[in-house]
Amino acid sequence: MLNVLFVNSGILGHGVVAKLLEDAAARLPDMTATHVNLSHDLTVRDRVVRRLLCARLAPAAGWAANVDLARWRRQMHAGLLAARRIAAAEQRQRFDLLHFHTQATAYASLRRMNRVPAIVSIDATERQASDEMTSGLSRATYGANVRHDGLVFRAASAVTATSQWAARDLAATYPDCAAKVRVMPYPARLDGFDPAWLSGRADRAPGEPVRFLFMGGDFPRKGGPLLIRAWRDAGFGGRAVLDLVTDWPLDAESLPDGIHVVRDVKPYTARWFDLWRRADVFVMPTRREAFGMVFQEAAIAGVPAIGTAINAIPELIDDGVTGLLVRPEHGRDLIGAMRACVESADLRLRMGAAARHRMLAIASPDRYAATLHDLIEDLVHTHAPQPV
């Protein structure tokens, strides 16, 4: 019986990933999994240290963003907290392998990774993250993160990337680590998504408005303002409605006709699943996205998606087959894609069914668990950790 320790940052969308990895680990035969979620069980000391190490001293945006190395300090804080949690867990038992998600959680565990085989799971490299900065100066400040990423990847026994997009950049930025990289999309959650929703959409009455769905907490980054402008210009009248699921402060009175703001929706609750059941099309013209698990959720719900042709999203949306891709910040593309979905029920139903079929094939929990199981066994039994 192998003992595996899973370390997850637990912040933002990685809280969902932590649960997905817990579910995957439960499917691993002949292995015992221990999970450390860095967002849970924080002590007063933990919170004080986080506040001191992660204090922002420079603007969050603009040409001088991150000149205080705030991102590296946040990443390093995650690594130090993880190292303390791992040490505490090692006092109780010995682990045959460590699994880190994401790379920052391994920042302070390089020596440990020299002793124990380790998998580092990523959705993007820090070099890719630097592309989001708007000035050469702010992009240059990511150098510390890029270098620290390299130390982690070289110490790791294997690196799993959620997309070809991330894997290609890792191989290009760190050629000596290219052979370690394996592409493993996040496993898609299946519980709560009913295949019968597909037939329910086919049985809807003619003339019923096409229901679009948007979900995004960071409304500007997820392309919400562009979506509102495109909706106003499209002029759907009563032929379509749009549910904006966000807690971002919006003036509902100023929104175009047909848009409804839905607040206080928690993922994987009955209300959340009901929104997916009722949706005909998911639309999120995001400006920045490392992976986009919500596009996986749309596919499992049998809902075609309209997304931006950036980063890993084209790996989740097969353009014209499971959904439609639009150029970033391109209102005409977005209007055209939405109109195509309003005009053709056959297109919506065909793409929705294809989306579910494809996602079950490439991101089923059983497939992910089987691949992870084989990788762990291979590393524990045959792979010697690399020296730091």
Note the pLDDT tens digit of each residue in 274-296: 999 999 999 999 998 888 999 99
Tell me the average pLDDT across 222-238: 94
CA distance 109 to 83: 6
Tokens of 377: 């066994």
Position with higher pLDDT, 15 vs 63 = 63
Q: How far is CA 224 from CA 155, 229, 249, 268, 323, in A?
A: 40, 9, 12, 22, 19
Q: Closest Cα partner for 68 from 59, 77, 78, 76? A: 59
Q: What is the CATH number of domain 2-187+364-382?
A: 3.40.50.2000
Could you give the strand order of the β-sheet that contains 210-215, starting from the edge strand earlier in sequence? 259-262, 240-245, 210-215, 281-284, 305-308, 323-326
pLDDT of residue 159 exceeding 80, the answer is: yes
Q: pLDDT-based confidence at 388, cuts 50/70/90?
A: low
Mean of the per-residue pLDDT values of the chain: 93
The confidence score (pLDDT) of residue 384 equals: 53
Cβ contacts of 384 within 8 Å, gap of 6 or more: none
pLDDT of residue 141 exceeding 60, the answer is: yes
| Whether 324 contacts 317, CB under 8 Å | yes
The stretches of the chain forming alpha helices (DSSP H) are 14-26, 44-53, 70-90, 110-115, 126-130, 136-140, 143-155, 164-173, 196-202, 224-234, 270-278, 293-300, 313-316, 331-343, 345-363, 365-382
Cβ contacts of 152 within 8 Å, gap of 6 or more: 100, 103, 106, 107, 110, 113, 120
- Right CATH for 196-363 from 3.40.50.2000, 3.40.50.300, 3.40.190.10, 1.10.274.100: 3.40.50.2000
CA distance 78 to 341: 43
pLDDT of residue 203 exceeding 90, the answer is: no
pLDDT of residue 383 exceeding 70, the answer is: no
Tokens of 334: 């977005």
| Whether 371 contacts 25, CB under 8 Å | no
Tell me the average pLDDT across 133-149: 94
pLDDT of residue 10 exceeding 80, the answer is: no
pLDDT of residue 19 exceeding 70, the answer is: yes
Q: How far is CA 32 from CA 82, 94, 122, 242, 294, in A?
A: 19, 11, 23, 45, 30
Which regions of the chain carry the CATH code 3.40.50.2000?
2-187+364-382, 196-363
pLDDT of residue 154 exceeding 90, the answer is: yes
CA distance 382 to 374: 12
Tell me the average pLDDT across 171-198: 94
What secondary structure, in 3-state letters, does 254-297 show?
Answer: HCCCCEEEECCCCCCCHHHHHHHHHCCEEEECCCCCCCCHHHHH
Tell me the average pLDDT across 106-134: 94
The confidence score (pLDDT) of residue 197 equals: 92
Mean pLDDT is lowest, of 8-17, 309-318, 365-374, for: 8-17
Cβ contacts of 264 within 8 Å, gap of 6 or more: 247
Of all helices (H) and strands (E), which one includes residue 36? strand 31-37
CA distance 305 to 290: 17
